[in-house]
Structure 1
Amino acid sequence: MPKFLIQATYTSEGAKGLLQEGGSGRRAAVDQVVTDLGGTVESVYFTFGDNDIILILDLPDPISMAAISLAVKATGALHTQATPLLTTEEIDEATRRRVTFRAPRG
């Protein structure tokens, strides 16, 4: 199952919601969305700095990730970035595939 790293920053409205629901409330909301699409939440961490929350999700496919991303961004409560995570074995497979590419020359 594809794995994704989600980095998110709350808007002021999102932060107000976090203050009302607490971290457990937000975790429950994330769990519901992900499990409804057939995935699992590996971890959720609240952070300081550029991001307010970091999640690692396992989802059935990239389309599920896109659906979550669109739904979350449409609320305006968070700014998010989703990064696909590849295993060592997946990179090993990629190194075995031959790709013919010619770099541009000036």
Structure 2
Amino acid sequence: MKSVEEINKLTEEDTDRIIQMAWEDRTPFEAIEFQFGLKEKDVIEFMRLHSQRSSFQMWRKRMSGRITKHVQKRVSVDPRFKCSLQRSISLNKISKR
């Protein structure tokens, strides 16, 4: 678990991105850990420190029990952090206008 000092050393851009990723339904905690080294407990502490009390409580209520926030609980076989609705890019196609 990271200390409060280590969490506070993150840049403002990193802080904003972690908050954004934490609020996104389809971004798993493992993606946050992969990019920033914060485990789920660290993200919870991070959100507690960087959110208003009511916002933190709303976030915790929203995230508790959410299957999409954990890679192991997902049904998807694809190990990448990618939305299944995202279009795949084909290099051989020319866009038509």
| TM-score between the two structures when normalised by the length of structure 1 | 0.27
| TM-score between the two structures when normalised by the length of structure 2 | 0.29
Q: Which has the higher helix share?
A: 2
Q: Which has the higher strand share?
A: 1
Indicate the structure (1 or 2) with the bigger Cα radius of gyration.
1
Bigger relative contact order, structure 1 or 2 (CA pairs below 8 A, ≥6 apart)? 1
